[in-house]
Amino acid sequence: MLTHRLKGRFFNGKIMKLPKLYAFNKKLEIDLSLSENPLGCSPKVFRVLKKDIKKIVEYPDPTSSILISTLKKRFRVSKNQILLGTGSESLIDLVCRVLLRSKDEVVLPELTFPLFERAILLARGKPIFVKVKMNFQIDLEGIKARIGKQTRFVILCNPNNPTGKAIDRRRILNFIKEVNPLPVLVDEANIEFGGKSVVSAIKNQNNLLVLRTLSKAFGLAGLRVGVLLGSKPLIEKFKQFIQPFPLNSFAQSAVITALDDEKFIQKTRVLMEKERNFLIDELRKREFMVFNSEANNILVEVNRLFPSATKFVRLLNKNNVSVVNGKSFRGLGDRFIRISPRLRKTNLAFLRVIDKILASVE
Ligand SMILES: Cc1ncc(COP(=O)(O)O)c(C=O)c1O
């Protein structure tokens, strides 16, 4: 059953079916939709941005040299193993455009971040979807089995979006070795919240690409900064295709400051775990089926009183609450929503709305 929402686009005169992205949905007053940091960002970032205001009249450093030095130390790689982009979404797009020719295949989990599918299709590639297991874990064996002659790379998302489930680090590393030399892109957008990074394996594994973002735990979604790490030959290849000024001056200095504030990230982790557990418990009390998550997204199957997630989301929207409808994710059907925990005040407001809706349907 294809419940995934598709939208027509013109492409070379033909209509191309692309996934409709939830990023364009409306945010309402009680917003649990996009996974931004509920604490904002490190307060030190605002001070640096104010100080740097004069920089807007000049072109930024095209090589982001100071930021690259910071990242080099942080990830223990050389500078030609790092590529910066305008949000990690631009780097997903870049990897697809550079590695794919018409009808080349990319193997990836069916239930994951929808932008992967979009980028593959826009690069005229063919996504090969592998169903997740019953418990929503990514099926690495299943993915391996689908690798064929036309496969150009594999995408894994750890922890996965929308489930918040992490893949065991050892299992990812074994997988990367087993499929070598096929490139494996591991999107670690939410790794600060849960799971263990494979970034240290870059020095031994030429086929590993790791993607990071400053939009989630670091709270800088508006600055649009993504980081791609990998072997020198792969990164050099991608570098040829980027624009001369991928990061603006503000983004460069803000990221250096944000990366340095480990206390803020620690505070974010503690808050996320507390609010995630709070919401999971409270929703279970209200007979919603909630799947355990290690990260900043929670997948929820709606209470049986509601005929569909769409109906439930409509009721939430009417009460000024926005969440992501599970229909935005391939293969999920119309019974799930994705929520991203917020500060306690917003989470309580969300639960109060649910109680009001439940009282009206019971
Ligand atoms: C798994 C994953 N990868 C990448 C992104 C894109 O992040 P950005 O383009 O803000 O860096 C997101 C954002 O939702 C995500 O969930």
pLDDT of residue 59: 97
pLDDT of residue 260: 96
Q: Give the E-state strand segments of 34-150 in sequence order.
A: 82-86, 105-109, 126-130
pLDDT of residue 2: 38
Going along the chain from its start, the domains and CATH numbers come out as 6-38+263-361 (3.90.1150.10), 54-260 (3.40.640.10)
pLDDT of residue 12: 58
CA distances from 358 to 315, 328, 333 (A): 10, 24, 22
Task: Read off the pTM.
Answer: 0.94
Q: Can you read off the two tokens belonging to residue 158? A: 């750890």
Return the bridge partners of 84, or none.
227
Asked if residue 110 has its Cβ within 6 Å of ligand 1, the reply is no
pLDDT of residue 24: 81
Q: How far apart are CA 210 and CA 197, in angstroms?
A: 9
pLDDT of residue 26: 87
Q: How far apart are CA 135 and CA 138, in angstroms?
A: 9
pLDDT of residue 189: 98
pLDDT averaged per 10 residues in sequence order, the chain, 362 residues: 44 73 88 95 95 93 97 97 98 98 96 97 97 95 98 98 97 98 98 97 96 98 97 96 95 96 97 98 97 97 95 97 96 95 98 97 80
Question: For a substitution probing ligand 1, which of 118, 120, 215, 218 has the most ligand atoms within 8 Å of its CB?
Answer: 215
Which ligand 1 atom lies nearest to the CA of residue 157? 1
Cβ distance 201 to 172 under 8 Å? no
Q: Can you read off the two tokens belonging to residue 209? A: 């690409």
pLDDT of residue 5: 44
pLDDT of residue 6: 46
